C-alpha cells in the first residue's frame, strides 16, 4: 500500500523567504533519497532541496518564480508505507545478515568490515567508528594508507617538491643568485621521502587505535555475501560481517609483452628511487607519466616521453596544457606524440625500445623504462563473485548514490567504482558509505570533483572544461586572466600561467574553471566552492582577495568576464 507524503521547505536559517528558480522533477518521476527536487535562491546563495524519501512524484504544489519559506508545501510523493518520510525521522536499523555475538564458526564477527585502507577505506572505517559502528579494517600491506600514502600521492609530491627546489635554484641565476650544481645524495633523499610517508602512516595507525578500529593485515577475499577470508601468508582468518565497504583500489595497467626486468618500472618502482638513470623512457603522457618526468628531469635524467594520442594529458583543455607542454619540451630530451612502443628488448647495457610513429626513430636505447599508461580496478582480485557483487564490462563495481552495490549490505568506494580515480573522491564516498551503513540518510551529491596534475607548472580544472563544452554543444562564455599581468607571478619568475572561468550565459553562474601555473592545485579550491555554491560572476569578482597573490587571479578572471577588470585592457563588451 502507498501513501502520499507532502514535502515541505525545511528551515532556511536567516532567510525568511526565498525564490524557486528551477524545478528539477515532474509528476511521475521516480526519486531516491537525497535526489535534488528543486533549486531555491536567496540574495546570498542558491541551494537544492533534496528529497527526504524515495518514491514517485505525484503532484507539484509550486511553480518557478514562487516565493516560499520554511514549512511551505512544494510537492507530494507517493511511497510505500515503510519509507522514510523525513530526514529527522529515526533511521531504520540496517538489515544485518550476521549479528555480532551470535554463535558462528568465524574467527571474528563484526558489524562492519572495510576492505582496503587507502584514503577512502580509512576514512570510511574512522567515520563508521565515530558513529558507534564496530569496525574491522583489512589492509594487505604492513602499513595503512594504501597506494596514495605509501607509493602514490604523498611520496610523489615530496619528490616533486625536491625537483622544484632544484629548478628554482637554477632559475635564480638570471636574478644574479647562483648556487652551483646540486649534489644529490640519493639515499638521504629516499630516507627523507620515506620519513614523510612514515609519519603519515604511523599517524593513521594511532587514529585507528584511538577509535578502536581493529586492523588486520593480509589479503582479503570474499567467500560469501557475509564472509571474507584474510590471508597473511602464514594463516587465514575467517571474518563474518553484517555490512561491508569495498575500498580495494586499483593497480597499474600492464603492457603485455614487455620483458620481466627490474629496469622496467611502474609508478611504484619509479618512486622507490633505486637510482637516477642517465636516460629514462616514459611510456604514457598522462598525469602520472608527466609528474615522473618532472621528478626525474629535476634529478638529472634525460627523459623521453611517448604518448599514443596526439596530445599530452589526453582530453585536457589545450589552453591549460600549452604552458606545461612548452616547458616540458625544453626539459625533456624527446616527446613523441602519436607514437606507440611496439616492443622493448633487454640487454646488459640497457633496454632497447622500438617505436611506431611519424616523428619517432625506429628504436633507441634507455637505462630504465617507466610504464605509466593508467590504472585498472582491483575488483577481480577480491572474490567479489562469491559475495554476489556484480562488475561492469570494465571491471568496476557499479554503485548508487549511497555507494551501495547490487548486494544491499555491501558498499563500494574509490577507484574500484569508476572514474575519476582520485583520493579526494574516495574520501567523500567513504564517508557516505559509512554514514549509510550506520543508518544515516546520506548520499554522494557533490556537483563537481577537481583534477590536478602536480607537474611544473601545475594544471588543475574542475567542472566543465572548454573542450568538453564545445564537444557537448553547451553554451558558455569565459573570463581569462593571463598571469603575465600578475605582479605576484612576475615576482616568482613564473608568468606563464593563466586562470580561466566558464560561465552560463543566461544565469551567469560559474560552470567550470581551469588554472595552469604554480600551486594551481591549491588555487582551484576557490572555484570548487564557487561551483558548489552556484556562485555567479559578481559573487566571485566582488569577493575581496588579498594582493598581490596568485589567488586574486580567480577574481580577475571573473572581472574579465564581467567587463569590469582594470588590470587588463579588454575591448568593451557589446
Active-site positions read 547
Q: How many contiguous H segments (helices) and E segments (strands) does the chain have?
A: 14, 30
Instruction: List phi, psi (to 5°) of 367.
Output: -85, -30
Q: Is 424 left (phi over 0), alpha (psi -120 to 50) or beta?
A: alpha
Burial of 137: CB neighbours in 10 Å, binned 0-12, 13-18, 19+: buried
Which residues touch 252 (CB under 8 Å, ≥6 apart)?
A: 266, 267, 268, 371, 372, 374, 375, 376
Q: Would you say 214 and 402 are in contact if contact means Cβ atoms under 8 Å apart?
A: no
Q: Would you say 247 and 399 are in contact if contact means Cβ atoms under 8 Å apart?
A: no
DSSP secondary structure letter of residue 572: P
Burial 323-361 (b: 16+ CB within 10 A, else e): bbbebbeebbebbbbebbbeebebeeebbebebebeebe
Which residues touch 103 (CB under 8 Å, ≥6 apart)?
A: none
In whole angstroms, how far apart are CA 433 and each of 49, 242, 356, 419?
A: 21, 14, 46, 17
In angstroms, the CA 201 to CA 195 distance is 10
Starting at the earlier edge strand, list the strands of the sheet with 30-31: 2-8, 73-80, 55-60, 30-31
In angstroms, the CA 20 to CA 17 distance is 10
In whole angstroms, how far apart are CA 390 and each of 64, 266, 387, 425?
A: 41, 29, 9, 21
Helices (H), ranges, 376-532: 384-387, 423-437, 466-472, 487-491, 520-532
Strands 214-217 and 302-307: unpaired
Q: Would you say 456 and 528 are in contact if contact means Cβ atoms under 8 Å apart?
A: no
The DSSP code sequence of 462-477 is EE--HHHHHHHT---E
In angstroms, the CA 163 to CA 155 distance is 12
In angstroms, the CA 138 to CA 223 distance is 15
In angstroms, the CA 7 to CA 57 distance is 10
C-alpha cell at 70: 520554511
Identify the helix (H) or strand (E) that includes residue 213. Answer: none
Amino acid at each position: 500500500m502507498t501513501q502520499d507524503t507532502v514535502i515541505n521547505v525545511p528551515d532556511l536559517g536567516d532567510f525568511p523567504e526565498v525564490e524557486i528558480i528551477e524545478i528539477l522533477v515532474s509528476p511521475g518521476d521516480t526519486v531516491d533519497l537525497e535526489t535534488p527536487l528543486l533549486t531555491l535562491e536567496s540574495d546570498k546563495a542558491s541551494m537544492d532541496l533534496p528529497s527526504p524519501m524515495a518514491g514517485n512524484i505525484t503532484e507539484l504544489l509550486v511553480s518557478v518564480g514562487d516565493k516560499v519559506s520554511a514549512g511551505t508545501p512544494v510537492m507530494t510523493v507517493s511511497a510505500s508505507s515503510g519509507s522514510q518520510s523525513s530526514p529527522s525521522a529515526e533511521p531504520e536499523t540496517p538489515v544485518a545478515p550476521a549479528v555480532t555475538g551470535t554463535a558462528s564458526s568465524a574467527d571474528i564477527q563484526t558489524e562492519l568490515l572495510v576492505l582496503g585502507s587507502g584514503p577512502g577505506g580509512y576514512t570510511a572505517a574512522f567515520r563508521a567508528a565515530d558513529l558507534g559502528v564496530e569496525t574491522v579494517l583489512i589492509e594487505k600491506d604492513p602499513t595503512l594508507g594504501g597506494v596514495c600514502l605509501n607509493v602514490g600521492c604523498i611520496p610523489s609530491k615530496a619528490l616533486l617538491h625536491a625537483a622544484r627546489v632544484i629548478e628554482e635554484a637554477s632559475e635564480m641565476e638570471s636574478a644574479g643568485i647562483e648556487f652551483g650544481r646540486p649534489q644529490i645524495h640519493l639515499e638521504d633523499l629516499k630516507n627523507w621521502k620515506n620519513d614523510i610517508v612514515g609519519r603519515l602512516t604511523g599517524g593513521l595507525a594511532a587514529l585507528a587505535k584511538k577509535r578502536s578500529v581493529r586492523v588486520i593485515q593480509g589479503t582479503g577475499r570474499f567467500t560469501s555475501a557475509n564472509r571474507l577470508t584474510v590471508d597473511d601468508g602464514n594463516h587465514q582468518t575467517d571474518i563474518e560481517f553484517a555490512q561491508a565497504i569495498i575500498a580495494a583500489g586499483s593497480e597499474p595497467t600492464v603492457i603485455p609483452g614487455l620483458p620481466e626486468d627490474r629496469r622496467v618500472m611502474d609508478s611504484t618502482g619509479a618512486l622507490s628511487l633505486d637510482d637516477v638513470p642517465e636516460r629514462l623512457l616514459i611510456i604514457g603522457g598522462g598525469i602520472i607519466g608527466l609528474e615522473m618526468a618532472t621528478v626525474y628531469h629535476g634529478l638529472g635524467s634525460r627523459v623521453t616521453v611517448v604518448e599514443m594520442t596526439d596530445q599530452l594529458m589526453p582530453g585536457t583543455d589545450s589552453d591549460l596544457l600549452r604552458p606545461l607542454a612548452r616547458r616540458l619540451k625544453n626539459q625533456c630530451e624527446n616527446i613523441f606524440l602519436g607514437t606507440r612502443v611496439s616492443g622493448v628488448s633487454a640487454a646488459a647495457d640497457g633496454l632497447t625500445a622500438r617505436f611506431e610513429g611519424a616523428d619517432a626513430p625506429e628504436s633507441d636505447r634507455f637505462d630504465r623504462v617507466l610504464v605509466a599508461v593508467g590504472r585498472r580496478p582491483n575488483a577481480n582480485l577480491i572474490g567479489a563473485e562469491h559475495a554476489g557483487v556484480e562488475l561492469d564490462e570494465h571491471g568496476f563495481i557499479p554503485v548508487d548514490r549511497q555507494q551501495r552495490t547490487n548486494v544491499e549490505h555491501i558498499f563500494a568506494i574509490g577507484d574500484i567504482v569508476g572514474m575519476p580515480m582520485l583520493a579526494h573522491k574516495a574520501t567523500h564516498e567513504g564517508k557516505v558509505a559509512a554514514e549509510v551503513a550506520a543508518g544515516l540518510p546520506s548520499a554522494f551529491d557533490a556537483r563537481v570533483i577537481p583534477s590536478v596534475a602536480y607537474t611544473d607548472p601545475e594544471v588543475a580544472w574542475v567542472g566543465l572544461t572548454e573542450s568538453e563544452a564545445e564537444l557537448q554543444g553547451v553554451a558558455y562564455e569565459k573570463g581569462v586572466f593571463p598571469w603575465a599581468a600578475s605582479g605576484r607571478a612576475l615576482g616568482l619568475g613564473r608568468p606563464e600561467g593563466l586562470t580561466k572561468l566558464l560561465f552560463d550565459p543566461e544565469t551567469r553562474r560559474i560552470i567550470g574553471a581551469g588554472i595552469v601555473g604554480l600551486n594551481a592545485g591549491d588555487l582551484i579550491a576557490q572555484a570548487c566552492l564557487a561551483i558548489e555554491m552556484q556562485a555567479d560572476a559578481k559573487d566571485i569578482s566582488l569577493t575581496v582577495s588579498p594582493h598581490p597573490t596568485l589567488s586574486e587571479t580567480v577574481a580577475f578572471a571573473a572581472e574579465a568576464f564581467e567587463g569590469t577588470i582594470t588590470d587588463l585592457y579588454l575591448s568593451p563588451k557589446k
